[in-house]
Structure 1
Amino acid sequence: MTATTPAPATTTVRQQVLVLYLGTSALDSEVIGWACYDGTGRTARTTGDGEEPPYPTGLAALRDGWRLIQASQLIPPYPGHEYDVSFLKHEFLFEQLVTP
């Protein structure tokens, strides 16, 4: 008689991505822009679809279980361009792995 091992249960894991633009390069600074993407398909959020950010700071997202996977590189402005308006440069990318 041979023992059989049951096949492992497959758990589908999906990624949720949160992009936060902060006022400075510090994770505890204020969120000034954001975008959320849900790989589970449960929600269909888009950039700018709400008045309030999902978190007040990047640190709050970490405390809620989001994993930081990328922070923007700090590049000093070119001389004479310190006050130019351009893209939001303090971008932080977070992820959560969830089961749908």
Structure 2
Amino acid sequence: MRQQVLVLYLATSALDSQVVGWSRYDGTGRTRPTTGDGDEPPYLTGLAALHDGWRLFQASQLLPPQSGHEYDVSFLKHEFFFEKLEEDPHPRT
């Protein structure tokens, strides 16, 4: 089995909120790693990824902004990691 990883950055901490950024990593070797490939995200929400069989294994910790820094621009903070396990396309014998 080989792991595929999908990282979705959502508009809020809710899994049914809109995807605003994404990255994919394919341990099967069938596709190259991509960051935000194309103009359209692979799913509109994190919940849609769950419906398609992706397993959620990590969500970013919710931290309130420091006083006086509520409007600072920084990293995308609503990050969710998903995985799928696929059959190895090149099994070792």
TM-score by length of 2: 0.92
1:46 partnered with 2:30: no
| Cα distance per residue 1:65-84 (max 9 Å; x no partner) | 00000000000000011111
Residue 49 of structure 1: how far off its partner (Å) = 2.2
Aligned length: 88
Residue 14 of structure 1 corresponds to which residue in structure 2? Answer: 2
TM-score by length of 1: 0.86
SS of equivalent to 2:12: coil
Partner Cα separation in structure 2 for residue 55 and residue 39 of structure 1: 20
| Structure number, greater radius of gyration | 1
Residue 50 of structure 1: how far off its partner (Å) = 1.4
Partner Cα separation in structure 2 for residue 47 and residue 75 of structure 1: 25
The structure carrying a bigger strand percent of its residues is 2
Of 61, 67, 70, which aligns to 2:58?
A: 70
- Structure 1 gaps, min length 5: 1-12
1:56 partnered with 2:44: yes
- Structure 2 gaps, min length 5: none
Of 65, 75, 80, which aligns to 1:92?
A: 80
SS of equivalent to 1:32: strand
Residue 37 of structure 1 corresponds to which residue in structure 2? Answer: 25
Partner Cα separation in structure 2 for residue 23 and residue 39 of structure 1: 27
Question: RMSD of the alignment, in Å?
Answer: 0.7
Query: Identity of counterpart residues, as a percentage?
Result: 78
Runs of 4+ residues over 2 Å off in structure 1? none
